[in-house]
Every structure is written in C-alpha cells, then in structure tokens.
Amino acid sequence: MFARSGGLGRDNSMRRTTIVNDETEIHEVYDEDGCVRYESFVNFFFYPYGIRDFVFKRMRIEDNDRVLDAGCGFGVLSRAVHHSVERRALSGVEQSAFDISPDMLSAFRKMRLDGIDLRQSDVIDLPYSDASFDLIVTSAMLEHVPEIEGALASLKRCLKPGGKMYVFMSRKTRVNDFLFRPFGDPKCYSLEELTDILASAGFKNTRRRRFPLSSFWLNIWGYVVEAS
Ligand SMILES: C[S@@+](CC[C@H](N)C(=O)[O-])C[C@H]1O[C@@H](n2cnc3c(N)ncnc32)[C@H](O)[C@@H]1O
C-alpha cells in the first residue's frame, strides 16, 4: 500500500496519482458511494458532534483569522469552525478548505456553507502562498498520505509565523485498523511518532489536547495535537 503519490500541480490539472494500494486511488475510495459510506460511518460514532465539541470548547479562533481545513472531506471541521465563528460573533474570519477527492468536495458543497474558499488539491502541492493562514486544522487526512513528512512541511509553509495547527489523528490500534480498512487502509501514527514528524517538519511547539468530557469517546478513537 501507499505505493506512490504525485501532486496535482499548481495549474490544478488533475493527475490522479495518489495510490493507496496496488489498485485503488484515494479518489476511488472516496467516490460518491465512498462518501455516503464514510458519512454514515462517522455519524454512527457521533464524530461530527465530537469535533464540534472540541472546536467550540478547545480551539482558539480570533477575529480576522484565516483558517484552512486540510483534507476537508465533506466538511466536518469546516462546519464546526463556521458555527463556532458565528456563535462567538467573530468578525473578519476567512475560511478555506481543500481535498484531493472531487466527490468529497461535491458532498461538502451540499452543506451550503457560505464564503468558504474550497479547492481541489493534493496536500503535497498546495495552491496557497507562503504564510497564508493563522490556523490550520486537519482530521483523519494525514493517515492517507504516502509521505506524511512532505505533507506536514507543505502545511507548515502555508502557516503564518506564530500560527497554529490542530492535527486530529486516529490512534494506532487494531480496532482502528479493522474499522478503517474499507476507507483506504490508512496508516495511523502514535503520538510519539507524530510528535517527531512534526518536529522534523519544522514545528517547534507541540502539545497534546484531549476531547472534552462531553465527547470523551473520541479520545478512544484518536488524539489531537496542537502545533506551532
Ligand atoms: C477519512 S477522510 C477525512 C475527511 C475529513 N477531514 C473528516 O474529518 O471527516 C480523509 C480525507 O482525506 C482526503 N485526502 C487523502 N489524501 C489526500 C491528499 N494527498 N491531499 C488532500 N486530501 C487528501 C480524502 O480525499 C478524504 O476526503
């Protein structure tokens, strides 16, 4: 698995070269049917509720922040950020999101969240300028990337000095291995592994964060690292 990954190129021409195993490209895993299956799967575990709970209670978002959701899928994190901005009556916050899979982006658009700059892109080759974002959030995407070091370096390039990134990562457990096999057989990392990779990608400060008590079961699924 994870045989190779190619970028989409800055011209955004679709070269479908991210392979998750010998036959299946990630776009095929998250095609129209895959999106529906994924959405039902995460709803079953109240994952959108837990993500929203974390964003509302643990994530610092400020006026005029530029926020990027990396590997946004159908938009669980983007929606939580959007609602948090509304609820806190923040002003001037600009949201962007990208994903490599066109069908995931179509599912995202169905949510009709106004004002989010949505793009199709490979994390390895992002169409954003250096130091564009105050806050980058990413959930359950890095597990699919063949070169996680390159992906994190690419995200770091887009983060402003002093900006923050929140990584939501599935734990490396047999149960997760089994549950996620139909979803591209992702490669999960331990907290120690992820912390080391973040350091080699240039992140100087990392801090483990937990889901609040009101969404405690997501601490069994995964963990959150805040990095800057
Ligand atoms: C498990 S889903 C997570 C989606 C969303 N972040 C969430 O939390 O529900 C993984 C997502 O990562 C995307 N993805 C995988 N490899 C990617 C890459 N190289 N660049 C951008 N997105 C990628 C997939 O298309 C898919 O939408």
Residue 210 CA to chain centroid, in angstroms?
17
What letter does residue 13 receive in the DSSP assignment? -
Q: What is the mean pLDDT of the chain?
A: 90
Q: What is the reported pLDDT for 228?
A: 96
Q: What is the reported pLDDT for 23?
A: 65
pLDDT at 25 over 90: no
Give the domain ranges of the chain.
12-227
Q: Whose CA is nearest to atom 19 of ligand 1?
A: 122
pLDDT at 16 over 50: no
More reliable by pLDDT, 98 or 11: 98
Residue to mutate (ligand 1; options 16, 24, 26; most atoms within 8 A of CB): 26
Residue ranges of alpha helices (H) inside 181-227 are 191-200, 218-221
Ligand 1 centroid distance, CA of 224 (Å): 16
Residue to mutate (ligand 1; options 12, 31, 32, 100; most atoms within 8 A of CB): 100
Could you tell me whether strands 159-170 and 116-120 are parallel, antiparallel, or unpaired per DSSP bridges?
Answer: unpaired
* pLDDT mean over 19-29: 75
Ligand 1 centroid distance, CA of 211 (Å): 21
pLDDT in tens, 102-130: 999 999 999 888 899 999 999 999 999 99
* pLDDT mean over 169-193: 91
| Secondary structure of residue 41 in the 3-state scheme | helix
Asked if 7 and 124 touch (Cβ cutoff 8 Å), the reply is yes
Q: What is the reported pLDDT for 10?
A: 34
Ligand 1 centroid distance, CA of 213 (Å): 26
* pLDDT mean over 54-77: 98
Ligand 1 centroid distance, CA of 206 (Å): 22
Pocket of ligand 1 (CB under 6 A): 18, 26, 30, 42, 71-73, 76-77, 99-101, 104, 122-123, 139-141, 144-145, 183
pLDDT at 17 over 60: no
For residue 14, name the pLDDT band (cuts at 50, 70, 90). very low
Residue 117 CA to chain centroid, in angstroms?
15
Ligand 1 centroid distance, CA of 71 (Å): 4
Q: What is the reported pLDDT for 28?
A: 82
CB proximity list for 104: less than 8 A, separation 6 or greater: 30, 35, 72, 73, 74
* pLDDT mean over 162-178: 94
Ligand 1 centroid distance, CA of 141 (Å): 4
Q: What is the reported pLDDT for 114?
A: 84
CATH of 12-227, one of 2.60.120.1440, 3.30.390.50, 1.20.1260.10, 3.40.50.150: 3.40.50.150
What would the two tokens of residue 172 be? 């490396």
pLDDT in tens, 121-162: 999 999 999 999 999 999 999 999 999 999 999 999 999 999
Minimum-distance ligand 1 atom for the alpha carbon of 18? 19
